[in-house]
Structure 1
Amino acid sequence: MPDHAPSREQQIARTFVALADTLVPDFDIAETLSVLVDRVVELLSVSAAAVMLVAADGTLEVMASSSHSAELLELFAAQTEAGPCVDCIRSAAPVTCTDIQDQGHRWPPFAAAAQECGFRAVHAVPMRLRDQTLGVLTLLGTEPGALSDDDGQLGQALADVVTIAILQHRAIEHSERVAGRLQIALDTRIVLEQAKGILAERGVMSPDEAFSRLRDYARSRRRRLTDLARAVIAGTAELDTILTSATDSAQR
Protein backbone atom coordinates (compact mmCIF):
# COMPACT_ATOMS: atom_id res chain seq x y z
CA MET A 1 0.00 0.00 0.00
CA PRO A 2 1.25 3.56 -0.70
CA ASP A 3 2.68 5.53 2.19
CA HIS A 4 0.30 8.39 2.96
CA ALA A 5 2.32 9.76 5.88
CA PRO A 6 2.69 13.54 5.55
CA SER A 7 6.08 14.86 4.50
CA ARG A 8 8.08 17.14 6.76
CA GLU A 9 7.10 20.11 4.61
CA GLN A 10 3.43 19.19 5.00
CA GLN A 11 3.84 18.81 8.75
CA ILE A 12 5.48 22.22 8.98
CA ALA A 13 2.72 23.83 6.90
CA ARG A 14 0.03 22.21 9.05
CA THR A 15 1.75 23.42 12.20
CA PHE A 16 1.78 27.02 11.04
CA VAL A 17 -1.88 26.69 10.07
CA ALA A 18 -2.72 25.26 13.51
CA LEU A 19 -0.92 28.12 15.24
CA ALA A 20 -2.49 30.69 12.89
CA ASP A 21 -5.90 29.39 14.00
CA THR A 22 -5.19 31.09 17.34
CA LEU A 23 -5.52 34.50 15.69
CA VAL A 24 -9.25 34.58 16.38
CA PRO A 25 -11.37 36.28 19.07
CA ASP A 26 -11.89 33.00 20.98
CA PHE A 27 -8.21 32.74 21.91
CA ASP A 28 -7.11 29.95 24.26
CA ILE A 29 -3.50 30.46 25.30
CA ALA A 30 -3.29 27.06 27.01
CA GLU A 31 -4.29 25.26 23.81
CA THR A 32 -1.91 27.37 21.72
CA LEU A 33 1.09 26.67 23.91
CA SER A 34 0.18 22.98 24.08
CA VAL A 35 0.19 22.83 20.28
CA LEU A 36 3.53 24.65 20.18
CA VAL A 37 5.43 22.28 22.50
CA ASP A 38 3.91 19.17 20.92
CA ARG A 39 4.71 20.24 17.38
CA VAL A 40 8.32 21.30 18.01
CA VAL A 41 9.01 17.86 19.47
CA GLU A 42 7.51 16.28 16.36
CA LEU A 43 9.35 18.53 13.91
CA LEU A 44 12.74 19.19 15.51
CA SER A 45 15.50 16.87 16.70
CA VAL A 46 14.61 17.35 20.38
CA SER A 47 13.23 15.07 23.07
CA ALA A 48 11.02 17.53 24.94
CA ALA A 49 9.96 21.16 25.03
CA ALA A 50 8.47 23.67 27.45
CA VAL A 51 7.30 27.27 27.52
CA MET A 52 7.95 29.73 30.32
CA LEU A 53 6.30 33.17 30.35
CA VAL A 54 6.96 36.30 32.37
CA ALA A 55 3.99 37.17 34.59
CA ALA A 56 2.78 40.71 35.23
CA ASP A 57 4.75 40.88 38.49
CA GLY A 58 7.96 39.73 36.81
CA THR A 59 7.90 36.18 38.12
CA LEU A 60 8.50 33.26 35.76
CA GLU A 61 5.71 30.77 35.14
CA VAL A 62 5.89 27.44 33.33
CA MET A 63 2.87 27.45 31.01
CA ALA A 64 3.23 24.30 28.90
CA SER A 65 5.46 21.25 28.56
CA SER A 66 5.59 18.15 26.40
CA SER A 67 6.57 15.84 29.27
CA HIS A 68 6.56 15.67 33.05
CA SER A 69 10.37 15.70 33.17
CA ALA A 70 10.52 18.87 31.09
CA GLU A 71 7.97 20.54 33.35
CA LEU A 72 9.89 19.60 36.50
CA LEU A 73 13.13 21.00 35.09
CA GLU A 74 11.53 24.28 33.99
CA LEU A 75 9.78 24.67 37.34
CA PHE A 76 13.15 24.25 39.03
CA ALA A 77 14.67 26.89 36.75
CA ALA A 78 11.82 29.30 37.47
CA GLN A 79 12.09 28.80 41.23
CA THR A 80 15.88 29.19 41.32
CA GLU A 81 15.89 31.87 38.57
CA ALA A 82 18.86 30.21 36.91
CA GLY A 83 19.49 28.21 33.77
CA PRO A 84 19.71 28.71 30.00
CA CYS A 85 15.99 29.50 29.80
CA VAL A 86 16.26 32.26 32.41
CA ASP A 87 19.36 33.71 30.74
CA CYS A 88 17.47 33.68 27.44
CA ILE A 89 14.63 35.76 28.88
CA ARG A 90 17.03 38.22 30.48
CA SER A 91 19.13 38.67 27.35
CA ALA A 92 16.30 38.32 24.81
CA ALA A 93 18.72 36.16 22.81
CA PRO A 94 19.05 32.42 22.18
CA VAL A 95 21.09 30.48 24.74
CA THR A 96 22.51 27.06 23.86
CA CYS A 97 24.17 24.41 26.00
CA THR A 98 25.16 21.49 23.80
CA ASP A 99 26.34 19.32 26.70
CA ILE A 100 25.11 20.17 30.18
CA GLN A 101 27.60 17.73 31.67
CA ASP A 102 30.60 19.65 30.29
CA GLN A 103 29.16 23.17 30.21
CA GLY A 104 26.93 23.11 33.26
CA HIS A 105 29.40 25.08 35.39
CA ARG A 106 27.49 28.18 34.28
CA TRP A 107 24.41 26.94 36.17
CA PRO A 108 25.52 24.22 38.65
CA PRO A 109 22.12 23.54 40.34
CA PHE A 110 20.29 23.58 36.99
CA ALA A 111 22.89 21.28 35.43
CA ALA A 112 22.44 18.75 38.22
CA ALA A 113 18.65 18.93 37.89
CA ALA A 114 18.82 18.55 34.09
CA GLN A 115 20.91 15.39 34.32
CA GLU A 116 18.61 13.99 36.99
CA CYS A 117 15.67 14.58 34.61
CA GLY A 118 17.57 12.81 31.84
CA PHE A 119 18.52 15.80 29.67
CA ARG A 120 21.97 16.59 28.26
CA ALA A 121 21.33 19.45 25.83
CA VAL A 122 19.33 22.67 26.26
CA HIS A 123 18.41 25.19 23.57
CA ALA A 124 16.50 28.26 24.79
CA VAL A 125 14.65 30.30 22.15
CA PRO A 126 13.32 33.76 23.09
CA MET A 127 9.64 34.56 22.59
CA ARG A 128 10.07 38.20 21.66
CA LEU A 129 8.97 40.87 19.22
CA ARG A 130 11.22 43.90 18.90
CA ASP A 131 11.78 45.14 22.46
CA GLN A 132 9.12 42.95 24.09
CA THR A 133 10.15 39.58 25.53
CA LEU A 134 7.24 37.47 26.74
CA GLY A 135 9.12 34.33 27.67
CA VAL A 136 11.11 31.43 26.31
CA LEU A 137 10.64 28.21 24.37
CA THR A 138 13.03 25.63 25.81
CA LEU A 139 14.11 22.69 23.64
CA LEU A 140 15.59 19.72 25.49
CA GLY A 141 17.64 16.77 24.27
CA THR A 142 18.52 13.53 26.00
CA GLU A 143 21.77 13.37 24.03
CA PRO A 144 24.45 16.09 23.76
CA GLY A 145 24.63 18.07 20.55
CA ALA A 146 23.64 21.30 18.82
CA LEU A 147 20.51 21.96 16.82
CA SER A 148 20.95 22.15 13.07
CA ASP A 149 20.59 25.60 11.53
CA ASP A 150 17.29 24.55 9.95
CA ASP A 151 15.90 23.28 13.25
CA GLY A 152 17.05 26.40 15.07
CA GLN A 153 15.42 28.69 12.52
CA LEU A 154 12.20 26.68 12.51
CA GLY A 155 12.03 26.67 16.30
CA GLN A 156 12.44 30.45 16.38
CA ALA A 157 9.83 30.91 13.65
CA LEU A 158 7.26 28.85 15.57
CA ALA A 159 8.01 30.76 18.77
CA ASP A 160 7.59 34.03 16.86
CA VAL A 161 4.16 33.03 15.54
CA VAL A 162 2.89 32.32 19.05
CA THR A 163 4.47 35.51 20.40
CA ILE A 164 2.69 37.57 17.75
CA ALA A 165 -0.60 35.84 18.59
CA ILE A 166 -0.27 36.66 22.28
CA LEU A 167 0.77 40.26 21.63
CA GLN A 168 -2.04 40.79 19.14
CA HIS A 169 -4.64 39.72 21.64
CA ARG A 170 -3.04 41.86 24.30
CA ALA A 171 -3.19 44.85 21.98
CA ILE A 172 -6.92 44.28 21.41
CA GLU A 173 -7.56 44.35 25.11
CA HIS A 174 -7.89 47.59 27.04
CA SER A 175 -4.63 48.54 28.73
CA GLU A 176 -6.08 47.87 32.18
CA ARG A 177 -6.93 44.29 31.20
CA VAL A 178 -3.55 43.30 29.74
CA ALA A 179 -2.17 42.05 33.05
CA GLY A 180 -5.44 40.30 33.79
CA ARG A 181 -5.20 38.39 30.52
CA LEU A 182 -1.97 36.72 31.56
CA GLN A 183 -3.38 36.06 35.02
CA ILE A 184 -6.25 34.19 33.38
CA ALA A 185 -3.66 32.10 31.57
CA LEU A 186 -1.90 31.32 34.86
CA ASP A 187 -5.23 30.36 36.43
CA THR A 188 -5.95 28.18 33.39
CA ARG A 189 -2.76 26.22 33.99
CA ILE A 190 -3.92 25.46 37.56
CA VAL A 191 -7.24 24.17 36.20
CA LEU A 192 -5.45 21.93 33.70
CA GLU A 193 -3.13 20.55 36.37
CA GLN A 194 -6.07 19.70 38.65
CA ALA A 195 -7.96 17.98 35.85
CA LYS A 196 -4.82 16.10 34.82
CA GLY A 197 -4.36 14.86 38.38
CA ILE A 198 -7.97 13.67 38.62
CA LEU A 199 -7.72 11.74 35.36
CA ALA A 200 -4.31 10.29 36.24
CA GLU A 201 -5.66 8.94 39.52
CA ARG A 202 -8.85 7.62 37.93
CA GLY A 203 -7.05 5.93 35.05
CA VAL A 204 -3.98 4.83 37.06
CA MET A 205 -1.66 6.43 34.52
CA SER A 206 1.02 9.09 34.31
CA PRO A 207 0.08 12.79 34.33
CA ASP A 208 1.47 13.06 30.77
CA GLU A 209 -0.83 10.31 29.49
CA ALA A 210 -3.81 11.78 31.36
CA PHE A 211 -3.24 15.18 29.76
CA SER A 212 -2.91 13.55 26.33
CA ARG A 213 -6.29 11.85 26.77
CA LEU A 214 -7.88 15.11 27.95
CA ARG A 215 -6.45 17.09 25.03
CA ASP A 216 -7.35 14.47 22.40
CA TYR A 217 -10.91 14.22 23.69
CA ALA A 218 -11.31 18.01 23.62
CA ARG A 219 -10.00 18.24 20.08
CA SER A 220 -12.11 15.36 18.76
CA ARG A 221 -15.27 16.92 20.28
CA ARG A 222 -14.25 20.47 19.29
CA ARG A 223 -14.41 21.61 22.90
CA ARG A 224 -12.18 24.16 24.52
CA LEU A 225 -9.51 22.42 26.55
CA THR A 226 -10.06 24.62 29.60
CA ASP A 227 -13.85 24.13 29.50
CA LEU A 228 -13.42 20.36 29.48
CA ALA A 229 -10.89 20.57 32.32
CA ARG A 230 -13.36 22.54 34.44
CA ALA A 231 -16.02 19.92 33.73
CA VAL A 232 -13.64 17.21 34.94
CA ILE A 233 -13.02 19.12 38.18
CA ALA A 234 -16.73 19.81 38.67
CA GLY A 235 -17.56 16.13 38.17
CA THR A 236 -19.83 16.76 35.17
CA ALA A 237 -17.56 15.11 32.59
CA GLU A 238 -17.58 11.40 31.71
CA LEU A 239 -14.12 10.49 32.98
CA ASP A 240 -14.14 6.94 31.68
CA THR A 241 -15.14 8.14 28.21
CA ILE A 242 -12.28 10.62 28.19
CA LEU A 243 -9.80 8.01 29.39
CA THR A 244 -10.85 5.39 26.86
CA SER A 245 -11.20 7.76 23.94
CA ALA A 246 -8.90 6.65 21.11
CA THR A 247 -6.27 9.10 19.96
CA ASP A 248 -6.73 10.21 16.36
CA SER A 249 -3.17 10.86 15.28
CA ALA A 250 -4.35 12.39 12.03
CA GLN A 251 -5.72 15.36 13.95
CA ARG A 252 -2.36 16.15 15.52
Structure 2
Amino acid sequence: MMAELSRDSRLSAAFLKVADTLVDDYDVVDLLDTLVQECTVFVGSDAGGLLIADADGWLQLIASTNEEAEFVEIIQLNAGEGPCVDAYKTGVGVTVPDLSQNDQWPAFSAEALKQGFRSMHAFPMRLRGETIGAMGLFSVNTGELSESDVAVAQSLADVATIGILQERSLRDTTMVADQMQRALDSRVLIEQAKGVIAAQTGVNMHTAFAILRDYARNNQLKLGAVAERVAERTLTLSAGESVAAE
Protein backbone atom coordinates (compact mmCIF):
# COMPACT_ATOMS: atom_id res chain seq x y z
CA MET A 1 0.00 0.00 0.00
CA MET A 2 2.80 2.41 0.91
CA ALA A 3 4.55 1.64 -2.39
CA GLU A 4 1.35 2.45 -4.29
CA LEU A 5 0.99 5.73 -2.41
CA SER A 6 4.59 6.56 -3.10
CA ARG A 7 4.12 5.84 -6.79
CA ASP A 8 0.93 7.91 -6.91
CA SER A 9 2.70 10.78 -5.19
CA ARG A 10 5.61 10.62 -7.62
CA LEU A 11 3.19 10.47 -10.54
CA SER A 12 1.30 13.53 -9.32
CA ALA A 13 4.58 15.35 -8.82
CA ALA A 14 5.74 14.46 -12.33
CA PHE A 15 2.54 15.75 -13.96
CA LEU A 16 2.63 18.87 -11.80
CA LYS A 17 6.22 19.59 -12.77
CA VAL A 18 5.43 19.29 -16.48
CA ALA A 19 2.26 21.35 -16.09
CA ASP A 20 4.16 24.04 -14.17
CA THR A 21 6.12 24.84 -17.32
CA LEU A 22 2.90 25.50 -19.26
CA VAL A 23 2.53 29.09 -18.14
CA ASP A 24 1.81 32.00 -20.46
CA ASP A 25 4.61 32.51 -22.97
CA TYR A 26 6.28 29.32 -21.74
CA ASP A 27 9.69 28.09 -22.92
CA VAL A 28 9.31 25.08 -25.25
CA VAL A 29 12.89 23.91 -24.65
CA ASP A 30 12.39 24.02 -20.87
CA LEU A 31 9.08 22.17 -21.20
CA LEU A 32 10.60 19.36 -23.28
CA ASP A 33 13.66 19.08 -21.05
CA THR A 34 11.37 18.75 -18.02
CA LEU A 35 9.33 16.10 -19.84
CA VAL A 36 12.27 13.84 -20.68
CA GLN A 37 13.88 14.31 -17.25
CA GLU A 38 10.68 13.42 -15.38
CA CYS A 39 9.85 10.44 -17.61
CA THR A 40 13.36 9.03 -17.27
CA VAL A 41 13.23 9.19 -13.48
CA PHE A 42 9.66 7.97 -13.12
CA VAL A 43 9.96 4.79 -15.21
CA GLY A 44 13.43 3.97 -13.88
CA SER A 45 15.28 4.39 -17.19
CA ASP A 46 18.92 5.46 -17.22
CA ALA A 47 18.74 8.19 -19.86
CA GLY A 48 16.42 9.89 -22.29
CA GLY A 49 16.35 12.09 -25.35
CA LEU A 50 13.70 14.00 -27.24
CA LEU A 51 13.44 14.83 -30.94
CA ILE A 52 11.04 17.30 -32.55
CA ALA A 53 10.35 18.08 -36.20
CA ASP A 54 11.54 21.33 -37.72
CA ALA A 55 9.56 23.44 -40.20
CA ASP A 56 10.48 21.03 -43.01
CA GLY A 57 9.44 17.92 -41.06
CA TRP A 58 12.99 16.77 -40.25
CA LEU A 59 13.62 15.51 -36.73
CA GLN A 60 16.13 17.44 -34.62
CA LEU A 61 17.49 16.88 -31.12
CA ILE A 62 15.87 19.24 -28.61
CA ALA A 63 16.56 17.71 -25.17
CA SER A 64 18.56 14.93 -23.50
CA THR A 65 19.40 13.84 -19.97
CA ASN A 66 23.10 13.21 -20.58
CA GLU A 67 25.80 13.18 -23.24
CA GLU A 68 25.45 9.43 -23.94
CA ALA A 69 21.74 9.77 -24.76
CA GLU A 70 22.44 12.86 -26.85
CA PHE A 71 25.09 11.01 -28.86
CA VAL A 72 22.82 8.02 -29.52
CA GLU A 73 19.94 10.25 -30.60
CA ILE A 74 22.24 12.09 -33.02
CA ILE A 75 23.41 8.73 -34.41
CA GLN A 76 19.76 7.81 -34.91
CA LEU A 77 19.13 11.06 -36.79
CA ASN A 78 22.21 10.65 -38.97
CA ALA A 79 21.28 7.05 -39.80
CA GLY A 80 17.70 8.05 -40.52
CA GLU A 81 16.48 5.00 -38.64
CA GLY A 82 15.66 3.90 -35.13
CA PRO A 83 12.85 3.62 -32.58
CA CYS A 84 12.22 7.38 -32.29
CA VAL A 85 12.18 7.80 -36.07
CA ASP A 86 9.60 5.01 -36.35
CA ALA A 87 7.52 6.39 -33.46
CA TYR A 88 7.46 9.78 -35.16
CA LYS A 89 6.54 8.37 -38.57
CA THR A 90 3.82 6.02 -37.30
CA GLY A 91 2.54 7.84 -34.21
CA VAL A 92 2.83 4.54 -32.34
CA GLY A 93 5.17 3.67 -29.46
CA VAL A 94 8.14 1.37 -30.14
CA THR A 95 9.73 -1.05 -27.66
CA VAL A 96 13.14 -2.68 -28.08
CA PRO A 97 13.67 -4.94 -25.02
CA ASP A 98 17.11 -6.16 -26.18
CA LEU A 99 19.12 -4.08 -28.64
CA SER A 100 21.67 -6.86 -29.07
CA GLN A 101 18.94 -9.05 -30.57
CA ASN A 102 17.54 -6.34 -32.82
CA ASP A 103 18.41 -6.29 -36.52
CA GLN A 104 15.83 -3.75 -37.65
CA TRP A 105 18.17 -0.76 -37.17
CA PRO A 106 21.71 -2.19 -37.21
CA ALA A 107 23.63 1.10 -37.27
CA PHE A 108 21.58 2.61 -34.45
CA SER A 109 21.60 -0.55 -32.31
CA ALA A 110 25.38 -0.95 -32.62
CA GLU A 111 26.05 2.63 -31.46
CA ALA A 112 23.54 2.42 -28.62
CA LEU A 113 25.21 -0.75 -27.35
CA LYS A 114 28.61 0.96 -27.50
CA GLN A 115 27.24 3.65 -25.19
CA GLY A 116 26.15 0.99 -22.70
CA PHE A 117 22.43 0.93 -23.47
CA ARG A 118 20.78 -2.46 -23.91
CA SER A 119 17.12 -1.54 -24.33
CA MET A 120 15.05 1.41 -25.51
CA HIS A 121 11.48 2.62 -25.58
CA ALA A 122 10.20 5.38 -27.89
CA PHE A 123 7.02 7.43 -27.44
CA PRO A 124 5.45 9.71 -30.08
CA MET A 125 4.65 13.34 -29.27
CA ARG A 126 1.15 13.30 -30.73
CA LEU A 127 -2.30 14.86 -30.60
CA ARG A 128 -5.35 14.03 -32.74
CA GLY A 129 -3.35 12.38 -35.48
CA GLU A 130 -0.63 15.05 -35.57
CA THR A 131 2.84 13.96 -34.44
CA ILE A 132 5.46 16.62 -33.74
CA GLY A 133 8.31 14.48 -32.39
CA ALA A 134 9.30 11.49 -30.29
CA MET A 135 10.87 10.76 -26.91
CA GLY A 136 13.32 7.91 -26.32
CA LEU A 137 14.09 6.31 -22.96
CA PHE A 138 17.25 4.20 -22.66
CA SER A 139 18.23 1.54 -20.13
CA VAL A 140 21.50 -0.25 -19.39
CA ASN A 141 19.45 -3.40 -18.71
CA THR A 142 17.37 -5.50 -21.09
CA GLY A 143 13.62 -5.81 -20.65
CA GLU A 144 10.35 -4.08 -21.36
CA LEU A 145 8.67 -1.32 -19.41
CA SER A 146 5.58 -2.29 -17.45
CA GLU A 147 2.22 -1.43 -18.98
CA SER A 148 1.67 1.20 -16.30
CA ASP A 149 5.06 2.83 -16.99
CA VAL A 150 4.32 2.90 -20.71
CA ALA A 151 0.96 4.53 -20.02
CA VAL A 152 2.52 7.14 -17.73
CA ALA A 153 5.33 8.03 -20.15
CA GLN A 154 2.91 8.37 -23.06
CA SER A 155 0.48 10.41 -20.96
CA LEU A 156 3.23 12.83 -19.90
CA ALA A 157 4.30 13.16 -23.54
CA ASP A 158 0.67 13.80 -24.51
CA VAL A 159 0.29 16.52 -21.85
CA ALA A 160 3.41 18.28 -23.13
CA THR A 161 2.19 17.99 -26.72
CA ILE A 162 -1.19 19.47 -25.82
CA GLY A 163 0.66 22.36 -24.21
CA ILE A 164 2.60 22.98 -27.41
CA LEU A 165 -0.36 22.52 -29.72
CA GLN A 166 -2.65 24.96 -27.96
CA GLU A 167 -6.00 25.75 -29.52
CA ARG A 168 -4.73 28.95 -31.08
CA SER A 169 -1.90 26.99 -32.68
CA LEU A 170 -4.16 24.17 -33.79
CA ARG A 171 -5.99 26.73 -35.92
CA ASP A 172 -2.74 27.73 -37.58
CA THR A 173 -0.22 25.03 -38.50
CA THR A 174 2.25 27.72 -39.58
CA MET A 175 2.31 29.02 -36.01
CA VAL A 176 3.19 25.54 -34.73
CA ALA A 177 6.02 25.18 -37.24
CA ASP A 178 7.38 28.61 -36.32
CA GLN A 179 7.19 27.75 -32.63
CA MET A 180 9.15 24.54 -33.15
CA GLN A 181 11.75 26.31 -35.29
CA ARG A 182 12.29 28.94 -32.62
CA ALA A 183 12.81 26.18 -30.08
CA LEU A 184 15.37 24.50 -32.33
CA ASP A 185 17.14 27.81 -32.91
CA SER A 186 17.28 28.27 -29.14
CA ARG A 187 18.83 24.82 -28.83
CA VAL A 188 21.76 25.94 -31.01
CA LEU A 189 22.39 28.90 -28.69
CA ILE A 190 22.03 26.63 -25.67
CA GLU A 191 24.72 24.28 -27.00
CA GLN A 192 27.05 27.25 -27.51
CA ALA A 193 26.32 28.55 -24.02
CA LYS A 194 26.93 25.11 -22.50
CA GLY A 195 30.36 25.10 -24.10
CA VAL A 196 31.15 28.56 -22.73
CA ILE A 197 30.05 27.63 -19.20
CA ALA A 198 31.96 24.34 -19.33
CA ALA A 199 35.13 26.12 -20.47
CA GLN A 200 34.80 28.84 -17.84
CA THR A 201 33.95 26.62 -14.86
CA GLY A 202 35.47 23.24 -15.72
CA VAL A 203 32.18 21.36 -15.35
CA ASN A 204 30.85 18.82 -17.86
CA MET A 205 28.24 19.73 -20.46
CA HIS A 206 25.36 18.18 -18.52
CA THR A 207 26.17 20.26 -15.44
CA ALA A 208 26.66 23.33 -17.62
CA PHE A 209 23.12 22.91 -18.93
CA ALA A 210 21.77 22.56 -15.38
CA ILE A 211 23.47 25.85 -14.43
CA LEU A 212 21.97 27.56 -17.46
CA ARG A 213 18.49 26.14 -16.91
CA ASP A 214 18.44 26.94 -13.19
CA TYR A 215 19.46 30.54 -13.80
CA ALA A 216 16.69 30.94 -16.40
CA ARG A 217 14.07 29.42 -14.11
CA ASN A 218 15.15 31.34 -11.01
CA ASN A 219 15.03 34.62 -12.91
CA GLN A 220 11.90 33.75 -14.94
CA LEU A 221 13.74 34.09 -18.22
CA LYS A 222 13.68 31.94 -21.35
CA LEU A 223 16.55 29.53 -21.83
CA GLY A 224 17.28 30.87 -25.30
CA ALA A 225 17.55 34.46 -24.06
CA VAL A 226 19.94 33.50 -21.25
CA ALA A 227 21.95 31.27 -23.59
CA GLU A 228 22.37 34.15 -26.06
CA ARG A 229 23.78 36.41 -23.34
CA VAL A 230 26.17 33.69 -22.16
CA ALA A 231 27.31 32.92 -25.71
CA GLU A 232 27.91 36.63 -26.34
CA ARG A 233 29.86 36.88 -23.04
CA THR A 234 27.49 39.51 -21.60
CA LEU A 235 26.54 37.13 -18.78
CA THR A 236 28.84 34.85 -16.80
CA LEU A 237 27.37 31.93 -14.86
CA SER A 238 28.89 29.62 -12.27
CA ALA A 239 27.53 26.72 -10.25
CA GLY A 240 26.83 28.86 -7.22
CA GLU A 241 26.14 32.32 -8.53
CA SER A 242 25.57 34.47 -11.60
CA VAL A 243 27.48 37.66 -12.32
CA ALA A 244 26.77 40.09 -15.14
CA ALA A 245 29.81 40.67 -17.28
CA GLU A 246 31.36 44.13 -17.43
Q: TM-score, normalised by structure 2?
A: 0.90
Which secondary structure state, in structure 1, belongs to the residue aligned with residue 60 of structure 2? Answer: strand
- Given residue 86 of structure 2, which amino acid in structure 1 is its aligned partner? D
Matches within 5 A, 1:139-158: 139-158=137-156
Which secondary structure state, in structure 2, belongs to the residue aligned with residue 106 of structure 1? Answer: coil
Q: What residue in structure 1 maps to residue 35 of structure 2?
A: 36
State the alpha-carbon separation in 1 of the partners of residues 40 and 198 from structure 2: 23
Q: What residue in structure 2 maps to residue 106 of structure 1?
A: 104
| 8 Å Cα contact 1:128/1:160 also seen in 2 | yes
| CA separation of 1:22 and 1:112: change in aligned 2, threshold 3 A | same
What's the % identity of the aligned pairs?
A: 38
Unaligned runs of 5+ in 2: none
The CA RMSD measured in Å over matched residues stands at: 2.0
The answer on 1:205 being equivalent to 2:213 is no
Unaligned runs of 5+ in 1: 1-5, 247-252
State the alpha-carbon separation in 1 of the partners of residues 232 and 7 from structure 2: 41
| 8 Å Cα contact 1:170/1:181 also seen in 2 | no
| 8 Å Cα contact 1:129/1:163 also seen in 2 | yes
Q: What residue in structure 2 maps to residue 78 of structure 1?
A: 77
Which secondary structure state, in structure 1, belongs to the residue aligned with residue 73 of structure 2? Answer: helix
| 8 Å Cα contact 1:84/1:123 also seen in 2 | yes
State the alpha-carbon separation in 1 of the partners of residues 167 and 160 from structure 2: 11
| 8 Å Cα contact 1:45/1:147 also seen in 2 | no
Q: What residue in structure 2 maps to residue 231 of structure 1?
A: 229
Q: What residue in structure 2 maps to residue 12 of structure 1?
A: 11
| CA separation of 1:216 and 1:108: change in aligned 2, threshold 3 A | same
| CA separation of 1:8 and 1:237: change in aligned 2, threshold 3 A | farther
Which secondary structure state, in structure 2, belongs to the residue aligned with residue 82 of structure 1? Answer: coil
After superposition, the C-alpha distances for 1:191-231 in whole angstroms (9 at most, x for unaligned) are 11010010111112211111112222332333332222122
Q: What residue in structure 1 maps to residue 176 of structure 2?
A: 178
| 8 Å Cα contact 2:118/2:142 also seen in 1 | yes
| CA separation of 1:170 and 1:211: change in aligned 2, threshold 3 A | farther
Q: What residue in structure 2 maps to residue 63 of structure 1?
A: 62
The answer on 1:161 being equivalent to 2:159 is yes
| CA separation of 1:238 and 1:56: change in aligned 2, threshold 3 A | closer
- Given residue 13 of structure 2, which amino acid in structure 1 is its aligned partner? R
- 1:43 deviation in Å? 1.0
State the alpha-carbon separation in 2 of the partners of residues 221 and 180 from structure 1: 25
| 8 Å Cα contact 2:195/2:205 also seen in 1 | yes
After superposition, the C-alpha distances for 1:128-187 in whole angstroms (9 at most, x for unaligned) are 112101111111101111101111111001000011111116617755433222211110
State the alpha-carbon separation in 2 of the partners of residues 170 and 80 from structure 1: 35
Which secondary structure state, in structure 2, belongs to the residue aligned with residue 144 of structure 1? Answer: coil
| 8 Å Cα contact 1:83/1:110 also seen in 2 | yes
